[in-house]
Structure 1
Amino acid sequence: MTSYWDRITDYYNENRKTPSERTKNSLQHRWSDIQKDTARFCGFYAEIERKRESGKSEDDKVKDALQMYQGLVKSVFKFIHCWLILRYEHKWQAHLIDMSTPNDKEHSETLQATEVQAVEAMKDKTLPPKISRPIGRDKAKRMKTSNTASNSTAFLQVLQNMRSDRQAYEERVEQATDATEGAISARSERKLAIQEQQLRLQERLVTLQEEREENLVMSLDLDKMTPWAKDFYLMKQKEIVTRKTTQHASNNEE
């Protein structure tokens, strides 16, 4: 028979919006985190409600509870959407009762003082305080209906803050990307300039080499050469003179 968590795992993977699947252990661990953090937030919200501060709206109470959570737990409450779903559910309230009710061993009169202190020291100070028995199903439905608008407002405010943070992060990433691209472009331009300079230098060296060879040909004493060598170098000298004359004329025209 397929277990409860096996069915949850199959349902999640069939309806997931991400490319990778998640295992049963991964989903159980995720739900455990949601339970623990949401229970903490419930405790903080209950503490805010017990203060009964005048003029405080539902949104104000949610914001105060979020600030209390961040101040005591030292992290942002990430499951506000889960809390909005769970807060009036009968099973969730029963779960909070079970979490906040100490077991018999902790309240046994036979415990020694040192054992009591050890148990108290091990308690998580950020978990919610003891919560009264959950309200009835009908009353919970009425409260859920009457607070829909305020809950939606609080949820939208949290989503707006999350979008603003995300937008600011994306802007920082875009600025960093632009700066990186600018640095890469500058390096590429410098590299291209160096390559062009090296090419001009190589062209200059080739030109100097050609001029040395031409000067050597022009300085030869043709009278001391054999007739065929004399004819060859005489032709070379004429080519050099013709080319130089053409280049000089072209430069004067420019």
Structure 2
Amino acid sequence: MTSEIPSQNKPSAKSKSRSTNYSVQEDILLVSAWLNIGLDPVKGNDQKSTAYWARIAEYYHKNKTFETNRDASSLQHRWSAIQAAVNKFCGYYEQILNRPQSGETEQDKLQRAKKMYREREKVAFLQEHNWNILKYEQKWISFSAKKAAIATTRKRKSVNPEASLQNASSPIVLDEGNGATSEPSFMERPIGQKQAKDLLKKEKVKENVASQLEQFRAFKRETERRKEERFQLSLSQEEKLYILKEKKEQAKQQREDDKIMLIDITTLPEMQAAYFRDRQAEIMARRARPSESM
């Protein structure tokens, strides 16, 4: 059973008809879908919000590992609440980082940011699990920077109401809808169709080159493997020759030892008898050593 995250939106007359609160699992999957699904540049700049969120819903249900029947509209509504809360918390957290206190740990800073959020927003910050995923993601960083830039532009243009906010480099506004927040979500405008198709061609060329490079590396690895096998085989043959040579030396030594051991030293002059007596003692000592070490 997964824990549920209470909605941070202010209650309204429609709240009774809303579906159950999102669980942590559902939130994490939704954030993953948002991070993995972007505006499709190949389809052109006329891509609508409904098409974009349909793709997110498709990703969401394709990758779910639990029971859920959230539709695109519900996911869009939930994302509005997540991005609004997380974006505000990022601002408070940034303020805390810019005003560090002596001896303060990272956990202390996080707690101070959560306290500031509660004091300013009059509600606890319940999106920490989503913030932990989003805070280092480049798409979220760009998304937040774009929202901040748009907010700054709005303030400047408010002095001159006749100035148009729309221009060739302006972002696409994806209506998050459902009344979850008064601010829409801003996404960067996709590149042109021709440029996107050119990029696809370049990617295919890169993939082809990468494939050929991998084939070359595989060939090189196989060549090295065979070379190593031949080396091991030659080494094995050398070891066999060495063992054979050693056995021959041992057999030769055995024959010499046997001749010396068979000499009757009682019939020899004193000096010769002393010499062969010492040799026989050496032989007996040498033969006794292996049996002692066993």
TM-score by length of 1: 0.40
TM-score by length of 2: 0.35
Instruction: Please identify the structure whose Cα radius of gyration is greater.
Output: 1
Structure with a larger share of its residues in helix: 1
